[in-house]
């Protein structure tokens, strides 16, 4: 079967930068390419957009195929279309990034026989295509959004403690935060509430558990 046009058409893909907090580090998910080009290189999960498929739907589908998770935060990042970024044909890629709560551990190890692994940002392998650039943009955007949005909440499981939330901010920002100021600020947002439950975790006072008032909703603050 052939699909013919009176002028040349590019192919269009989506690629997804999938962030999560794992083992107290900010990590992202890469897949090992099975086929040429860049066979055996690591790359962002992604794939071709179906001819009747919405761009975001495509990204969500790829996300679920690679990680087995659905219903997570997804945002469009940038569209890369340099004419020679793919040696096969002209490919324009719409990049998305996604934040996955730490408790969604059921990442399929190898959905369609591809190796899948989490990498920290400071130990990234050489990546296929222009994926290193995309990752860099996504990271910048994530860090910027911590400041002026509630995006970090998307890393949290359904119930979490304020200390856990603070740790997430500290991991992404790369430095310690003052506990009292952090709590004051985050509670003043009025976007989280106590569940009433406590978490007993070790030889110390149990922590109050919180939940998001508006799960899935990322708001601009300030």
Residues that bind DNA (CB under 7 A): 161-163, 178-181, 183-185, 198, 200-208, 222
Span interacting with a second copy, options 10-18, 109-117, 194-202, 205-213, rule CB under 8 A: 10-18
Residues 137 and 124: their CA atoms lie apart, in Å, by 14
* Shortest distance in whole angstroms from residue 186 CB to DNA: 11
b/e 93-111 (16+ beta carbons within 10 angstroms → b) = bbbbbbbbbbeeeebeeee
Query: How far is residue 55's CA from residue 98's CA, in Å, rounded to a whole number?
Result: 14
CB 106 within 8 A of CB 68: yes
Residue 76 contact partner, candidates a second copy, DNA, none, CB within 5 to 8 A by sort of partner: a second copy
The site partner of 49 among a second copy, DNA, none (C-beta below 5 to 8 Å per kind) is: a second copy
- Taking the complex as a whole, the smallest distance from the CB of residue 48 to a second copy amounts, in Å, to 7
For position 9 contacting a second copy by CB under 8 A, the verdict is yes
185 binding partner (options DNA, a second copy, none; Cβ < 5 to 8 Å by kind): DNA
The dihedrals phi and psi of 140, each to the nearest 5 degrees, come to -55, -45
CB crowding 27-42: b at 16 or more within 10 Å, else e: bbbbbbbeeeebeebb
Residues that bind a second copy in the complex, under the rule CB under 8 A: 1-12, 48-49, 51-55, 76, 78-79, 81-83, 90, 92, 94
């Amino acid at each position: 079967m052939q699909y013919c046009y009176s002028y040349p058409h590019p192919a269009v893909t989506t690629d997804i930068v999938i962030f999560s907090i794992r083992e107290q580090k900010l990590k992202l998910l890469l897949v090992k390419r099975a086929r040429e080009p860049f066979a055996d290189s690591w790359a962002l999960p992604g794939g071709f957009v179906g001819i009747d498929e919405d761009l975001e739907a495509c990204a969500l589908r790829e996300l679920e195929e690679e990680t087995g998770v659905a219903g997570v935060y997804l945002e469009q990042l940038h569209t890369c279309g340099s004419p020679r970024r793919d040696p096969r044909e002209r490919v324009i890629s719409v990049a998305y990034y996604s934040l996955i709560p730490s408790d969604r551990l059921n990442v399929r190890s190898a959905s369609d026989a591809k190796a899948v692994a989490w990498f920290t940002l400071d130990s990234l392998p050489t990546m296929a295509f222009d994926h290193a650039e995309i990752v860099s943009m996504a990271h910048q955007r994530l860090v910027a959004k911590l400041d002026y949005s509630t995006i970090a909440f998307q890393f949290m499981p359904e119930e979490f403690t304020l200390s856990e939330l603070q740790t997430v901010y500290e991991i992404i920002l790369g430095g310690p935060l003052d506990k009292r100021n952090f709590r004051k600020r985050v509670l003043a947002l009025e976007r989280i509430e106590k569940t009433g439950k406590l978490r007993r975790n070790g030889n110390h006072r149990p922590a109050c558990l919180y939940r998001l008032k508006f799960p899935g909703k990322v708001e601009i603050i300030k």
